Structure formats: C-alpha cells, structure tokens
Structure 1
Amino acid sequence: MSVTVRSATEQDVPLIAGFIRELAAYERLAREVVMTEADLRLTLFGEQRYAEVLIAEQEREPLGFALFFHTYSTFLGRPGLYLEDLFVRPEQRGRGVGLKLLAQLAGLAQERGCGRLEWSVLNWNDSAIGFYDKLGARPRSGWTVYRLTGEALQELAARA
C-alpha cells in the first residue's frame, strides 16, 4: 500500500499531541513540552488558526506528521512556509514517509505563491541533515536563532 498525506482535522488533536510528545522524546526535549490538547484545539482549529498539520498514513495507520505555518519575506515580497515539526515514527523511517510529507509541503508552498520553505534542525541530528542535503536543502550560514520565552518575554512585554 502507498503512503497518503492528508490535512489534519480537529478529531486528530489527540494524535497530533502524541506525535509532538514522540518528537520531543526523540529530540531529548520531552521535559519542555507543556502543550495540552486544549491548546492544540484552540490554536490549530479555533477561530484564529496559527498553524496547519499534515498527517501521513498507510491504510489509515498514522506514520508521521508535519506542522507548519506561514511566514513573510520582505526581501522577496512574498509569503513563505515554515516547517515547525516534521516527525516520522522510527519504525517507518527510510520508507519515503518524510519525503512524501515534504513534497506535499513544497506543493502547498507553490500553490500559495510562497517564495521559500524553511525549517530548523538540531545540529546533532545527522540522519535528518543527510536527508535534507539529499533533497537539495542548504543550511543558512551566518544566522543565529534567538528566542525570548518565560520571564524574559514577560519583562520585555512590560516595557511596551
């Protein structure tokens, strides 16, 4: 049977939450997951939808997922897609599931007039880096990702 990719529905929230937890465990970041199914329901399927999810399946068995959202490039004057999470269950890796998810995302990017598809990868994830290199993706040198969270975010917001 072939792998199919579909857009997630609200009924998939428990599955998406499970995938996120599996990804966090793989990335050695499980302790950082504070998301709840209620959070996902609100932010993915509520009045304001902040991200979208694709689910890869084979005979209705979930194999992996991709969670993404729109960005904007002022230099291109066009939107982009940012892939926040890509995860394929370990026993399904090497079977084209990740490729199918990324190909679907690339198609969506083209359909939506996006100028680019971007994502981040952990420096130690050699198998993912090798996979991305084979697709023709290239790392962006000269850029460092910054992040404000928790107390630092609150303190800066208080200065507004």
Structure 2
Amino acid sequence: MAVDVRWATTGDAAALTVMLCEMAVHYRQPPLDSARAMAAARKWLGEESTAYPHFALAFVDGEVAGLASVAIAHPGIDLERLMFLKDLFVREDVRNAGVGRALIGFLAGHCQRDGIGRIDFTTEDWNEGALRFYAGLGAERHGQKIFLRLSGEALEAAARP
C-alpha cells in the first residue's frame, strides 16, 4: 500500500475534518459536530506558518488515512529545537498497514532537514496499540516528567491577575 504524506494546506480542511471527527470517537469523546470541526479546520489551516505547519496528513489511494498534529518548541537539548507530537491518529480500517510509520518517517525526515533534535510525545496508558507501535519504533519511555494540565476553572483562575 502506497502512503503519501504531506503537510496540510488550506485545501485540506475537509480531510482534516474527517480525521478530527474520527479521533474524537476513538479517544472516547462525544462525537464532534462536523460543521464545527470544519470551521475549526479551516481556521487552523488558515493560520498555519509555511515554515512550521501543524498538521501532516497521510493519504492512501487519495483518501485521508492518518494525521499527525505537531508543534515546534525552543530550545531543546544543546539549543536544538524539538518537535512535540500532540496526536498521531490512523483510521481504523488502515491501522497496521504502514500509515503511522509513514507519518513518523515524514516527521523524522523533517526534523533531520531542519535541525530539530528530537520528537517528544505522549499517549494514553490504555492505548496498548499505540504503546506497541512506539516501542516498535524504538521510542524510549521516559519517567522523568509528569504530564499536567490547566483547564476549565483552573485555567480561568490562572488567567486572573
């Protein structure tokens, strides 16, 4: 199966919408309203920097098959930037067919070309498929950091002077 991976552009809003809606279900969230997801996809893709786009999309036979959502952070180790992989998602009907590997390969190649020293990411502790996939790539588990989140009332309180 040939997998084509590229950075998403404004013309990919519909493909990104499909992935966002499927991700919500996979990650045990309420289903997304597709019109709302499309509006968000158009907004996000319209704001993308050409130097550092946030979404890579994988296509199989012209159909969207996978998504990687990333951010570039400064500084990393030895003043190299780092890529944070927020989400890697592959549609259920093409899992274990090389789509995830193609997305990671695309991101890793981008890092090597642009002097980005590493890719950091997280996954849910219940997502055994993702844990196996990342272990198969040679990813190391790091226990040095604890994942924390500010949201809801805590986020509102932190924003107050």
Instruction: Indicate whether the TM-score tops 0.5.
Output: yes
Question: Residues 93-117 of structure 1, C-alpha deviation per residue, up to 9 Å, x if partnerless?
Answer: 1111100000000001111111110
1:6 corresponds to which letter in structure 2?
Answer: R
What CA distance in whole angstroms lies between the structure 2 residues aligned with 1:91 and 1:32?
20
Structure 1 unmatched ranges of 5 or more: none
Give the TM-score taking structure 2 as reference length.
0.87
- Measure how far apart 1:119 and its partner are: 1.0
Question: Residues 17-70 of structure 1, C-alpha deviation per residue, up to 9 Å, x if partnerless?
Answer: 22122112111123699x643333233322768852111112211111111110
Q: Is residue 7–residue 53 contact of structure 2 (8 Å, CA) maintained in 1?
A: no
Indicate whether 1:66 and 2:52 are aligned: no
Change in CA separation of 1:42 and 1:32 when aligned onto 2, cut-off 3 Å: closer
What CA distance in whole angstroms lies between the structure 2 residues aligned with 1:136 and 1:126?
15
Indicate whether 1:26 and 2:26 are aligned: yes
Q: How many residues align?
A: 159
1:60 corresponds to which letter in structure 2?
Answer: G
What CA distance in whole angstroms lies between the structure 2 residues aligned with 1:156 and 1:122?
26
What CA distance in whole angstroms lies between the structure 2 residues aligned with 1:118 and 1:27?
20
| Cα RMSD (Å) | 2.4
Counterparts of 1:140-159 in structure 2, within 5 Å, are 140-159=142-161
- Measure how far apart 1:75 and its partner are: 4.0
Query: Among the aligned pairs, what percent are the same residue?
Result: 33
- Measure how far apart 1:129 and its partner are: 0.4
Question: Residues 113-150 of structure 1, C-alpha deviation per residue, up to 9 Å, x if partnerless?
Answer: 11110111000111110110011101210311111112
What CA distance in whole angstroms lies between the structure 2 residues aligned with 1:56 and 1:17?
14
Change in CA separation of 1:76 and 1:19 when aligned onto 2, cut-off 3 Å: same
Q: Is residue 5–residue 56 contact of structure 1 (8 Å, CA) maintained in 2?
A: yes
What CA distance in whole angstroms lies between the structure 1 residues aligned with 2:14 and 2:24?
15
What CA distance in whole angstroms lies between the structure 2 residues aligned with 1:5 and 1:87?
13
Q: Which moved more, 1:140-149 or 1:71-80?
A: 71-80
Change in CA separation of 1:76 and 1:24 when aligned onto 2, cut-off 3 Å: farther
Question: Which residue does 2:2 correspond to in 1?
Answer: 2
Structure 2 unmatched ranges of 5 or more: none
What CA distance in whole angstroms lies between the structure 2 residues aligned with 1:116 and 1:94?
24
Please give the secondary structure, in 2, of the residue aligned with 1:76. helix
